């Protein structure tokens, strides 16, 4: 990462997430081109865009999992390596092997590994915190279950509990509503709104345009480049949707929120 | 048997094979869960040129030099593989195939070159292809034991980090864990296990000792700790079993017998392990079919009763068959009758068998209907 700012000097500390001039390429394919994004603290922000628009790449680059060709990222003014443990990350559910021999509670405890430090195993306190996080998502009765025996929605809730248990000021979720049942979606959204109201910043890669207006208060629309960003009511316009999705739009949604056929 | 066990050579081979099985079983569990089983195969094959180089440099069949050489080329192969997958468009399987065959080819070339020199001491080198258990010395056991203890120590010390890196490396990285060094540590441990196993099992079959115990253990266990422990146990048992069989029967090579025994354990585990075994799943599917069939019979009888405004409406065989599409096996109806949910009755003047729902049957049908609605799917 091209890092011109030392850890100690804060750069754009008033933004929960500040992305500047970010460009990412996989081989000859440009995934992100000259991205500038500012997401203020204590908002619930959706990142939307068509498939292949670089939403997940943006998250991964912000988290330091993918190296950018150019540009930089700051969380509350700091580079991501100075913010480890203060950003809760919920990867896409399909990114792991759900047949791994492990219980739901053990997965949640993984969110505490960093704070436990080397050589220390999760203790009774860690177990209790994991149980609390599971309970927040209505999953306390499944703590001892093998993760392979959980439904898709339950697996997603376990993943979110793992990020929740870190008690991080910033939460980043990659398609948390993909393939989950309606009740799980309602539980997740209620929790995220609660966290937002408590001052956390929630950043969600989202795929369902019909729910953008009811779930989120901040919006980033992108398609390799940033098309528009800002409060949902200002940004969620037919022009921006057309610019983001092009011809696909007619099949997806209209800004009024009602489905098109 | 007692006679066998009193032989010094048999004891050494037995302990060596069991130790090797335990080490590779323990580390193989992580390799299998990380979907890196084939990395072990490539590392094992890539150890062959190192075996020959170690021999050439030491000028004799010195096990220390040979193991160092094997470890060196194995590690080199792992590095090359990493570079290929990161720097080129080739996928992991292609990189594995290339590295495995190129290193193995180099090993064979070196091997034939060494043997062509006609030195008598080089005669034994080809045993590293398929292993030769009888060549194990007491002193080698100390090396194996040392490697085993070291591997166990590292695994215990880095337990939760290995667990997280094996399950979700992206999350580990996002949390600031040094994922690359941790993965490298796991790979180095696997390479060590392979080097230790070369003499006994050989480069060609070594991968089976990594994969088989882990694959078998996964079938029986529900936690990582149990899986790793059981995998080590299965590896040790296969090793000991193979050593005994080949000692009892002249002319059976230990390494391949160990591999066959471990594979046998895998097959049995795949077939009969609870929950994950094929047999278990077939039975579970049958139970599920039976449950669904029971529920449909009860629901049909209840529906007929409601339609006729008669809670104990006797439904005739043909009616049930038409409503259900096919007649449930008579044993299923008897089962329902035995549970007191339906009653077999006659309904003169007709002589065909009829069934009616009992009060308990009505309650059960209501319960199942509620359950189905709540779950939104077939149980």
Three-state SS for B146?
helix
pLDDT digits (tens, 9 = 90+) for B260-271: 999 999 999 999
B342 burial class (0-12, 13-18, 19+ CB within 10 angstroms)? buried
* Structure tokens given for B131: 């292993």
Q: Is residue B270 part of a domain?
A: no
Closest-CA residue in chain B for A172?
Answer: B174
Q: Is residue B116 part of a domain?
A: yes
What CATH code is carried by the domain that includes residue B353? 1.10.10.10
Q: B168 and A96 in contact by Cβ < 8 A?
A: yes
* DSSP type of residue B314: P
What CATH code is carried by the domain that includes residue B225? 1.10.3470.10
Q: A116 and B167 in contact by Cβ < 8 A?
A: no
Distance CA B323, CA B330 (A): 16
Q: Is residue B272 part of a domain?
A: no
Report whether A116 contacts A126 (CB < 8 A).
Answer: yes
Annotated domain spans of chain A: 1-86+207-245
B168 contact residues in A (CB cutoff 8 A) = 91, 95-96, 110
Q: B168 and A91 in contact by Cβ < 8 A?
A: yes
Distance CA B57, CA B66 (A): 9
pLDDT at position A1: 47
Q: A95 and B224 in contact by Cβ < 8 A?
A: no
List, in order, residues 6 or more apart from B146 with CB less than 8 Å away.
Answer: none
Q: Is residue B261 part of a domain?
A: no
The distance of Cα B72 from the centroid of its chain, to the nearest Å, equals: 28
pLDDT at position B374: 63
Q: How far is CA A193 from CA A197, A200, A201, A214, B97, in A?
A: 6, 9, 10, 11, 50
pLDDT at position A259: 41
Whether B314 and B187 share a structural domain: no
B175 contact residues in A (CB cutoff 8 A) = 84-85, 89, 113-114
Determine the residue among B153, B163, B175, B230 to mutate to test chain A binding: the one whose Cβ has the most chain A Cβ atoms within 10 Å.
Answer: B175
Phi, psi of B348 (to 5 degrees): -60, 150
Closest-CA residue in chain B for A160?
Answer: B171
Which domain does B33 fall in, by range? 2-254
Closest-CA residue in chain B for A118?
Answer: B158
Q: A103 and B164 in contact by Cβ < 8 A?
A: no
Of B160, B164, B170, the CB nearest to A121: B160
pLDDT at position A248: 64
Whether B288 and B239 share a structural domain: no
Q: Write the DSSP string, B244-272.
A: HHHHHSTT--HHHHHHHHHHHHHHHHHHH
pLDDT digits (tens, 9 = 90+) for B179-228: 999 999 999 999 999 988 888 888 889 999 999 999 999 999 999 999 99
Whether B74 and B182 share a structural domain: yes
The nearest CA of chain B is from the CA of A153 a distance in Å of 14
Q: Write the DSSP string, B184-248.
A: HHHHHHHHHHHHHHHHHH-TTTHHHHHHHHHHHHHHH-SSHHHHHHHHHHHHHHHHHHHHHHHHH
pLDDT at position B289: 84
Whether B229 and B317 share a structural domain: no
pLDDT in tens, chain A (261 residues): 445 555 557 888 889 999 999 999 987 888 999 999 999 999 999 999 998 899 999 999 999 999 999 999 999 999 998 888 899 999 999 899 999 999 999 999 999 998 888 888 898 999 999 999 999 999 999 999 999 999 999 999 999 999 999 999 999 999 999 888 898 999 999 999 999 999 999 999 998 888 999 999 999 999 999 999 999 999 999 889 988 988 666 555 555 444 443
Whether B19 and B159 share a structural domain: yes
Whether B209 and B291 share a structural domain: no
* HSE of B296, CA atoms in CB hemisphere, 13 A: 18
Report whether B41 contacts B205 (CB < 8 A).
Answer: no
Q: A118 and B161 in contact by Cβ < 8 A?
A: yes
Determine the residue among B31, B37, B166, B174 to mutate to test chain A binding: the one whose Cβ has the most chain A Cβ atoms within 10 Å.
Answer: B174
**Pairing relation of β-strands A170-174 and A201-205?**
parallel
Whether B284 and B250 share a structural domain: no
Residue with tokens 């694959």: B215
The nearest CA of chain A is from the CA of B171 a distance in Å of 7
Phi, psi of B223 (to 5 degrees): -135, 160
Q: What is the dihedral of CA B76, B77, B79, B81, to 10 degrees?
A: 160
Closest-CA residue in chain A for B219?
Answer: A101
- Closest by Cα among B272, B270, B245, B207 to B25: B207
Whether B335 and B235 share a structural domain: no
Q: Is residue B265 part of a domain?
A: no
Report whether B177 contacts B45 (CB < 8 A).
Answer: no
A100 contact residues in B (CB cutoff 8 A) = 33, 166-167, 224
* Structure tokens given for B88: 């080129």
Q: How far is CA A1 from CA A15, A20, A70, B50, in A?
A: 20, 12, 7, 38
Residue bearing the bigger pLDDT, B105 or B308: B105
Closest-CA residue in chain B for A82?
Answer: B176
| Boundary residue ending a domain (B254, B288, B321) | B254
Distance CA A117, CA A114 (A): 5
Question: Domain tally for chain B?
Answer: 2
Whether B127 and B193 share a structural domain: yes
Q: A146 and B171 in contact by Cβ < 8 A?
A: no
Size of interface A-B (CB pairs under 8 A): 74
Q: Is the pLDDT of residue B1 over 70?
A: no
Interface of B with A (CB under 8 A): 33, 35, 89, 157, 159-161, 163-164, 166-168, 170-171, 173-177, 218, 221-224, 226-227
Whether B193 and B67 share a structural domain: yes
pLDDT at position A103: 94
Give the mean pLDDT of B132-153: 88
Give A223's strand partners. Answer: A225
Report whether B251 contacts B232 (CB < 8 A).
Answer: no
* Structure tokens given for B347: 């309904």
Q: A118 and B224 in contact by Cβ < 8 A?
A: no
Distance CA A165, CA A136 (A): 10
Neighbours of B184 (CB within 10 A): 15
Q: Is residue B27 part of a domain?
A: yes
Q: Is residue B16 part of a domain?
A: yes
Sequence-distant contacts of A192-199: CB under 8 A, at least 24 apart: A192/A44, A193/A44, A195/A164, A195/A171, A196/A42, A196/A43, A196/A44, A199/A41, A199/A42, A199/A169
Determine the residue among B157, B168, B171 to mutate to test chain A binding: the one whose Cβ has the most chain A Cβ atoms within 10 Å.
Answer: B171
Phi, psi of A210 (to 5 degrees): -65, -20
Neighbours of B264 (CB within 10 A): 14
Whether B59 and B208 share a structural domain: yes
B379 burial class (0-12, 13-18, 19+ CB within 10 angstroms)? exposed
B160 contact residues in A (CB cutoff 8 A) = 110, 113, 116, 121-122
- Closest by Cα among B183, B218, B240 to B1: B240
pLDDT digits (tens, 9 = 90+) for B344-372: 888 777 778 888 888 888 888 888 888 77
Whether B321 and B206 share a structural domain: no
Rg over alpha carbons for chain B, rounded to the nearest Å, is: 30
Q: Is residue B267 part of a domain?
A: no
Q: A113 and B222 in contact by Cβ < 8 A?
A: no
pLDDT digits (tens, 9 = 90+) for B57-77: 988 778 888 889 999 999 999
Phi, psi of A75 (to 5 degrees): -110, 120
Local confidence band at B128 (pLDDT 50, 70, 90 cut-offs): confident
B176 contact residues in A (CB cutoff 8 A) = 81, 84-85, 114
Q: B174 and A89 in contact by Cβ < 8 A?
A: yes
In the CATH scheme, what architecture does the domain A1-86+207-245 have?
Answer: 3-Layer(aba) Sandwich (3.40)
Q: How far is CA B136 from CA B40, B91, B261, B299, in A?
A: 22, 39, 20, 70
Q: Write the DSSP string, chain A.
A: ----S-TTS-SSTT-SEEEEEEEEEETTEEEEEEEEEEE-TT-EEEEE--TTSSHHHHHHHHTTSS--SEEEEEETTB-GGGSTTSEEEE--GGGS-TTSS-BHHHHHHGGGHHHH-TTPPP-HHHHHHHHHHHHHTT-GGGTTSBGGGS-HHHHHHHHHHHHHTTT-SEEEEESTTTT--HHHHHHHHHHHHHHHHTT-EEEEE---GGGHHHH-SEEEEEESEEEEEEEHHHH--HHHHHHHHGGGHHHH--TTS----
């Amino acid at each position: 990462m091209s890092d011109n700012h030392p850890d100690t000097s804060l750069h754009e500390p008033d933004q929960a997430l500040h992305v500047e001039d970010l460009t990412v390429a996989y081989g000859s394919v440009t995934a992100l081109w000259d991205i500038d994004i500012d997401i203020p603290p204590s908002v619930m922000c959706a990142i939307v865009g068509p498939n292949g628009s670089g939403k997940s790449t943006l998250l991964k680059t912000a988290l330091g999992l993918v190296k950018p060709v150019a540009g930089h990222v700051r969380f509350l003014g700091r580079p991501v390596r100075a913010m480890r443990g203060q950003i809760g990350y919920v990867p896409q559910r399909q990114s792991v092997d759900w047949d791994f021999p492990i219980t739901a509670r053990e997965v949640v405890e993984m969110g505490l590994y960093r704070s436990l430090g080397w050589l220390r195993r999760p203790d009774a306190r860690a177990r209790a915190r994991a149980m609390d996080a599971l309970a927040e998502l209505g999953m306390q009765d499944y703590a001892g279950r093998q993760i392979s025996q959980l439904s898709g929605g339950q697996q997603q809730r376990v993943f979110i509990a793992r990020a929740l248990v870190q008690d991080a000021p910033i939460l980043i979720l990659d398609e948390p509503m993909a393939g989950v049942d309606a009740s799980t979606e309602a539980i997740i959204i209620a929790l995220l709104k609660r966290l937002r109201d408590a001052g956390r910043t929630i950043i969600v890669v989202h795929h369902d345009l019909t729910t953008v207006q009811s779930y989120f208060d901040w919006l980033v629309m992108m398609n390799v480049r940033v098309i528009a960003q800002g409060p949902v009511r200002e940004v969620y316009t037919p022009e921006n949707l057309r610019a983001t999705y092009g011809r696909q739009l007619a099949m997806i949604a209209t800004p009024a929120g009602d489905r098109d056929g | 048997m007692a006679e066998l066990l009193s032989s010094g050579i048999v004891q050494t081979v037995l302990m060596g094979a069991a130790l090797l099985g335990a080490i590779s079983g323990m580390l193989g569990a992580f390799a299998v869960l990380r979907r890196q089983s084939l990395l072990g195969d490539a590392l094992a094959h890539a150890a062959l040129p190192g075996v020959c180089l170690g021999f050439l440099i030491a000028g004799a069949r010195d096990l220390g030099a040979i193991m160092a050489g094997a470890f060196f080329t194995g590690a080199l192969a792992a590095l090359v593989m990493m570079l290929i997958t990161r720097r080129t468009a080739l996928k992991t399987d292609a990189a594995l195939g290339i590295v495995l065959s190129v290193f193995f080819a180099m090993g064979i070339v070196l091997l034939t070159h060494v043997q062509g020199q006609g030195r008598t001491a080089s005669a034994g080198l080809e045993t590293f292809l398929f292993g030769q258990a009888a060549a194990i010395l007491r002193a080698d056991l100390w090396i194996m034991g040392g490697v085993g203890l070291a591997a166990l120590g590292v695994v215990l010390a880095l337990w939760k980090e290995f667990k997280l890196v094996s399950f979700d490396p992206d999350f580990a990285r996002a949390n600031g864990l040094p994922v690359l060094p941790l993965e490298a540590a796991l790979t180095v441990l696997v390479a060590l296990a392979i080097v230790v196993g070369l003499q006994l099992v050989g480069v060609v079959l070594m991968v089976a000792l990594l994969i088989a115990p882990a694959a078998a253990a996964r079938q029986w266990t529900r936690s990582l700790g149990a899986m790793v422990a059981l995998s080590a146990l299965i590896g040790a048992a296969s090793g000991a079993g193979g050593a005994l069989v080949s000692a009892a029967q002249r002319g059976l090579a230990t390494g391949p017998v160990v591999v066959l025994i471990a594979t046998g354990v895998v097959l049995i585990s795949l077939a009969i392990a609870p929950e994950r075994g094929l047999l278990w799943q077939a039975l579970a599917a049958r139970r599920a079919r039976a449950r669904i069939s029971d529920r449909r019979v009860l629901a049909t009888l209840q529906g007929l009763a409601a339609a006729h405004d008669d809670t104990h409406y006797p439904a005739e065989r043909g009616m049930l068959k038409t409503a259900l599409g096919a007649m449930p096996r008579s044993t299923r109806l008897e089962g329902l009758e035995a549970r007191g949910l339906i009653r077999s009755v006659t309904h003169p003047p007709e002589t065909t068998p009829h069934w009616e729902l009992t009060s308990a049957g009505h309650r059960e049908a209501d319960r199942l209907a509620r359950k189905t609605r709540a779950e939104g799917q077939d149980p």
